[in-house]
A and B are shown apart, each in its own frame.
Chain A
Amino acid sequence: MVATREPAVVDRTTTLETLLQTPAGKRMMTCIQCGTCGGTCPYGDTMDFSPRLVINMLRGGFMDEVIKSESLLQCVACYACMAKCPRGIRLTDVLLPLVKEQVLVTHTPMPAEFQKSLENMNRYGNPMGESPRKRAAWTATAGVKIPIMAELKREVDVLWFVECYTSFYARGQDNSRATARLFNALGVDFAILGNEEKCAGECGQLTWESGLFESLAEYNMKVFNKYKFRRLVTGDAHAYNAFHFRYPMFGLTQPAEHTTQFLARHLDRLKPMLKKPLDLTVTYHDACCLGRATGSYDEGRALLQAIPGVKLVEMVHNRVNSLCCGGGGGGMWLDTYYKQKGMDRLSDRRVKEAIATGADVLAVACPYEISRFEDALKVVPHTKPIVVRDVVELLAESLA
């Protein structure tokens, strides 16, 4: 049995104290202590308290010890433990964030890089601390017109939630420019929020910072409620995760889709437009927030296989067994901490697997991975060149 993510198992007010009274908490009482979670956890070997032990300590009333340790700083919210749990226990999205929150409250100081990112998300609505007034600045380089909701003043079919790394980070913007070209080619009726948008806050929720997540979710919901749109589409797997699972608890009623899901749904119309052959061997990295979190394994692969000349090869860990890039759950801002602890960077481990396939391209569908894998490729030795590209970048390149 694999845990499915029906939202009703907890609500917004669930805390560590009330957890055992919720349906999700009651299921934790059925844990058989098999240890599959700790075994599948990419950092399970370095944690004092593996997910299995966390459940045992919770049931025994010894959570204080878990909270005092640094174990949970090593959880990258990759959903591996939850996807493999034979009892369907909601670890990644229910138990572990509630524990992490207590770690954050008790643990001072937090690793500096991580603390700064959370403070930036709170003040500027993005983790890098960029001016919120420059969020839509990338649109000037899009090559096509990007309508903004506040200026459009009408209902749109797609509200495209661009997100932080795809707005501010130079290589991340390639994703946005590609998405804009694809939407344009398909004639999608879309608009973005522009400078009104703030981080969806997924890393707040999965990380530890329920207050930060609530404040960002409440803000974004207020902005959503000003406009009319039929669906939310985002290229950020983490934002998609938040919109799909957590935002409905804040009143979101429109369906949310990741760009790969949206484009795969329109593949019949998109495929004839993909005329330029790319002649590349490509390996696809399953983003945790798409794959294990929501079972979305096929869309990215279907899109890649629609590109003429693309040969898809698989890494040794793929689909439900995919290895996390290490960026989730706050890991994006804990690299220095992991290095100090002498731990492997997961992105280094993952690019080794990509290199071993002999592929020309490591294709991704989450904006964290561009920077993580490009950085990893700088330090992991390899002879045959390999580059990191988002699926949408490859699709846009193949547009005639």
Chain B
Amino acid sequence: MNLYVLLKMVPDTVEELNVSADGQSLDSEFLRFKLSEPDDHALEQALLLKEKHGGTVTVVALDAPEVDDVLFTALAKGGDRAVKIPIAQAGLGTAASAGVLAAFFAAPGAITPDTLLLPGSQAIDDLEGELAPLLAAALNLPYVGVVCGVQAADGKATILKEFAGGLRAEFEVALPAVLGIQSAEKPPRYVPVAKVRAAMKSATIDTAELAPPDRPVQLDIARLYKPEAAGRAEMVEGAPADVADKLVDVLAKHSVV
């Protein structure tokens, strides 16, 4: 199979996110980026499919801080080829990102009859999960999103898709296709650091030169701000017996007891 995984870098929320002085963007001073979690699952799903059916796994990413580490890690995990598109992801909206990626896949021979494009189903800065359907539309390929399992056979893929309320459905889709991956069939695998370091020494990242998009963003951010607290928790203090009495009052007040 010809498997492509689209990797996107998102802000690492282990560091506190702050709004910068312009009130429209994240303060980049301490911002670190990491691989979007559904994309990590997309990579795992691709590696599982390769192990089952053979083929190649190509990981593709736009330029972003720490993206090289992520690409080398993907190679160390079993990816065959890594491609970086030297256009900064940070300045692009989802539609523009999809446009650049569509241009990459429009190259002759990129998409073969046994191709699956596997982006993550969503990202913390694309909760609507627009990238995958926009890319599928631009390439005129079928699309299924929120995928949590993929079986492939005879030019078709059988897809397990999750719905709200614990429902799951099975879809059949003809290849080539775009599948937005929510979770792989197994948790993303561990790759020993020694393997990543070896990949950094021996492997290379290919570069695909593409024209930057005409319209990098289609939505203007009017104001970016932290959620304002609407109410606060009430701390009950005092000796245990007093606390118990106060707690009973509070529960009674709210008709819990």
Contacts and interface: CB of A to CB of B under 8 A. Distances in A.
B16 A131 contact: yes
B98 to A, nearest CB: 28
A124 B14 contact: yes
Given A131-B14, A215-B197, A108 B192 contact: no
Contact of B193 (A108, A112, A130, A209): A209
A108 B189 contact: yes
B246 interface: no
B192 A209 contact: yes
A133 B195 CA distance: 27
Interface string A100-123: 010011001110100100110011
Interface in B78-110: none
A211 B197 contact: yes
Given A109-B187, A133-B30, A122 B193 contact: yes
B189 to A, nearest CB: 5
A112 B187 contact: yes
Nearest to A212: B193
Given A130-B14, A133-B15, A109 B189 contact: yes
B190 A109 contact: yes
B21 interface: no
A122 B192 CA distance: 10
Contacts of B190: 104, 108-110, 115, 118-119
Interface string B183-203: 000110110111111000000
> In the complex, which range does the number of interface residues on chain A fall in?
20 to 34
Contacts of A322: none
Interface string A374-392: 0000000000000000000
A211 B30 contact: no
Name the residue among B34, B193, B196 with the largest chain A CB count within 10 angstroms. Answer: B193
Contacts of A130: 14
A214 B194 contact: yes
B186 A212 contact: no
Interface in B7-44: 14-16, 30, 34
Contact of A131 (B15, B192, B196): B15
A105 B14 contact: no
Contact of B195 (A112, A131, A211): A211
A110 B34 CA distance: 21
B77 to A, nearest CB: 10
A209 B34 CA distance: 22
Size class of the contact patch on chain B: 10 to 19
Contacts of B187: 109, 112, 115
A129 B194 contact: no
A371 B42 CA distance: 36
Nearest to B47: A108
B34 to A, nearest CB: 7
Contacts of A122: 193
Given A109-B187, A123-B34, A215 B193 contact: yes
Interface string B148-162: 000000000000000
Nearest to A211: B194
A210 interface: yes
Given A109-B187, A112-B187, A104 B192 contact: yes
Contacts of B30: 133
A119 B14 CA distance: 13
Contacts of A215: 193, 197
B52 to A, nearest CB: 14
Contact of A109 (B14, B15, B186, B196): B186
Interface in A168-206: 204
A193 B197 CA distance: 26
A7 B30 CA distance: 40
Nearest to A123: B34
B231 to A, nearest CB: 27
A109 B190 CA distance: 7
Interface string B227-241: 000000000000000
Contacts of A212: 192-194
A109 B186 CA distance: 8
Contacts of A118: 190
Nearest to B196: A211
Contacts of A109: 186-187, 189-190
Contacts of B189: 108-109
B37 to A, nearest CB: 12
13 contacts: A101-B192, A105-B192, A115-B190, A118-B190, A124-B14, A131-B15, A131-B16, A208-B192, A209-B194, A210-B194, A211-B197, A214-B193, A215-B193
Which 5 pairs show the lowest CB-CB distances between chains A and B? A211-B194, A211-B193, A212-B193, A115-B190, A108-B189
Given A118-B190, A209-B194, A214-B193, 10 more contacts: A105-B195, A108-B189, A112-B187, A122-B193, A123-B34, A208-B192, A211-B192, A211-B193, A212-B192, A212-B194
Interface of B: 14-16, 30, 34, 186-187, 189-190, 192-197
